[in-house]
Amino acid sequence: MKSKWLDQFIAWREVHVSERNFVLVLSFFVGFFSSVAAWVLKTLIHYISSFVRLQVIDTGHLLWYLVCPMIGIALSALFVRYIVKDDISHGITKILYAISQRKSIIKAHNMWSSVVGSSLTIGFGGSVGAEAPIVLTGAAIGSNLARTFRLDQKTMMLMIGCGAAGAIGGIFKAPIAGLVFTLEVLMIDMTMANISPLMISSITATAFTYLFSGSSPMFLLSSIEPFSVNRIPWYIVLGVVCGFMSLYFTRGMNSLETQFKRLPSLASKVLTGGLTLSVLIFLFPPLYGEGYDSISLLLNGRAEEMLSGSPFASLPASVWLLTGYLLLVVLLKIAASVATNGGGGVGGIFAPSLFVGCITGYISVHLLNMAGLGLPEANFALAGMAGLMSGVMHAPLTGMFLIAELTGGYHLFMPLMIVSIVSYVTILLFEPHSLYAMRLAQKGELLTHNKDRSVLTLLKMDNVLENDLRTLYPEMTLGELIKVIAESKRNIFPVISHEGKLLGVLLLDEVRNIMFQPRLYNRFTVSQLMTSPPAILDYNMPMERVMEVFEDTSAWNLPVVDEQKHYLGFVSKSKIFNSYRQVLVNFSEE
């Protein structure tokens, strides 16, 4: 019955509503559902966290800090293993992979599984953020709505972007950041026709979030000084510091994740991750949860309160104690985050990058002020947040606009821009990919902002495979070969076994000098005349890799086989170019 009604609606829509207008309507609903998902996730985290803090930790002993995070990781790991039965970690990376390798298809369970998993993880104290899971949730909503209404791959890709923009706009109340995040981090080559749906989703999600939870920014600031030109050199210094801290964050997290993957079983991962996180939180309570409370303390001049609940709080108070404590917190944050996710928890790096950036900015300005410079601490802490996000995500516009919208500090665009771009340029000298893209780049599966590579990614082997070539068998004589040549319009012939496996190729040019000598027709066989092709393509090979093989071999035609080496057809460079031009027109049309 459901399918019948859906078929009738789709048929009606195709007649009465244009594709462009339908996409605009659908982008509104994607934004709405993304905002609802963001509100549900934030509400679940709030209630679970409040229960754990008020009913367990605050009424008991600090040793509960050792227990609760492990409980959260264990619950999340069990939920993923036995209920979801799929990997839901690294949400942004999964979106990039879906765009580049899975025809923009994201599994339906991602519309809810990340919400449940991350609320358990973060609510019990996991040292990660809720933003990447909600971005995956929003992208899954967009992808599955597009699939439901049978839209094409290009539109599905756009709906994924709408879901991501709506998720960022909804959870941060940051519509501009949602738009630019999608442009910088996720999408491949945006045209003006695609900007409108993204804006609709982002604005819709933000507007409904205002209705759900009010319009005040996430961080309320008590004292922000206006921008001063004479502080530009120190913002540049901070940008360089943030760039190197981003490099430490990216490579350190990637390295620690690799170590966790080597653990042999789920139980060992849960135990190792849970114990590591619990010990770190017991020694450094600011590592508990997302860390937004600590950010608020730093932005409002209450940094000393971050020592509260720590074993170090009993030591004599001093500037160096606070600075050293914060330095250890910022250096150990990646270990806490990896222990959370590696142990089986579900979370992202948005919040950790903001947390590390805020403390980096605070420590930097604190040290500069010890030299008597009198720089505003809150301003530099904010700029540090933008710098770390820009460096880790390779997204300077996202870092700049997000911090401005999170705090309402729009008059600080200049320092945010300076620190963001300097940090981005600094890390770019050492690391060409963001933490999100690094995992895919190492496998050659990354879809980039380069239009040529993006269009090639949209091309599949089926689009360019030619299987109209006449095949030969190795025992055939030259005389039999001449008959095949007379009936063929091609100058290349695959030689296959009777089981269908490719043995070699025979080029017309190789037999041209003997094909008009009848006395040789029974002397030579195809096995004597065939040669090995310059390269053999695998049917599942990405088109970008196919073009690299063509360039390396200088060939114009190459055979294609399946995993068992059975011959499937040929691919010609000219066919790829023709298909490329056709896809490019469809891809870029407005």
Instruction: Look at residues 168, 185, 171, 225 and name the one whose alpha carbon lies nearest to residue 93.
Output: 185
Task: List, in sequence order, the alpha helices (H) in 284-349.
Answer: 292-299, 319-342
pTM for this model (two decimals): 0.77
Pairing of strands 502-507, 537-538: unpaired
Question: To which H or E segment does residue 407 belong?
Answer: helix 396-407
Domain 229-452 matches domain 454-588 at the CATH topology level: no
Closest CA to 145 of 15, 54, 27, 253: 27
Residue 532 three-state SS:
coil
Q: How would you class 70 by CB atoms within 10 Å of its CB: exposed for 0-12, middle for 13-18, buried for 19 or more?
A: buried
Residue 408: Cβ-neighbour burial (10 angstroms; 0-12, 13-18, 19+): middle
pLDDT along the chain (590 residues), means of 10: 72 80 92 94 90 68 73 90 84 74 78 91 89 90 89 84 92 90 74 82 94 82 78 93 95 89 87 90 87 87 81 76 91 93 88 93 90 86 93 91 84 90 94 76 54 59 82 88 84 89 86 80 85 87 80 85 89 76 55
Query: Would you say 140 and 95 are in contact if contact means Cβ atoms under 8 Å apart?
Result: no
Q: 538 vs 223, 324, 453, 501, 547, CA distance in Å?
A: 61, 55, 19, 13, 13
Report helix angle 319-342 to 350-369, nearest 10. Answer: 170
For the chain, give every domain's residue range. 2-213, 229-452, 454-588
Spatial distance between the Cα atoms of 484 and 477, rounded to a whole number of angstroms? 11
CATH number attached to the domain at 2-213: 1.10.3080.10
> Among candidates 454, 408, 385, 419, which has minimal Cα distance to 153?
454
Task: Give pLDDT, residue 118.
Answer: 92
Instruction: Give bridge partners of residue 494 from the DSSP assignment.
Output: 505
Q: Would you state the structure tokens that stand for residue 390, as one six-digit string?
A: 């820009």
DSSP 285: G
Q: How many CB atoms sit inside 10 A of residue 51's CB?
A: 12
The length of the chain is 590
Q: Is 554 left (phi over 0), alpha (psi -120 to 50) or beta?
A: left
Which CATH code fits 454-588? 3.10.580.10
Question: Cα(282)–Cα(402) distance, rounded to whole angstroms?
Answer: 31
Does residue 196 contact residue 24 with C-beta atoms inside 8 Å? yes
Q: Helix, strand, coil proportions of the chain in percent (round to 5)?
A: 70, 5, 25
* Residue-wise burial string across 90-125, b where 16 or more C-beta atoms lie within 10 A, e elsewhere: bbbbbbbbbbbbeebbbbeebbebbbbbbbbbbbbb
Count H helices and E strands in the chain, helices first.
25, 5
Question: What architecture is the 229-452 domain classified under in CATH?
Answer: Orthogonal Bundle (1.10)
Predicted local distance difference test score (pLDDT) of residue 138:
92
Q: Which residues, other chains included, contact 92 with Cβ-Cβ below 8 Å and sequence gap of 6+?
A: 132, 135, 136, 185, 186, 348, 436
**Residue 228 neighbours by CB distance under 10 Å:** 12
Within 13 Å and on the Cβ side, how many CA atoms surround 373? 18
pLDDT in tens, 455-509: 555 667 777 888 888 888 989 988 888 888 888 888 888 999 988 899 888 888 7
Give me the pLDDT at residue 149, please: 86
Q: Kindly report, residue by residue over 424-449, the tens digit of the pLDDT.
A: 999 999 988 888 777 666 655 555 44
Tokens representing 388 are 């770390």
Identify whether the C-beta of residue 201 lies closer than 8 Å to the C-beta of residue 162. yes
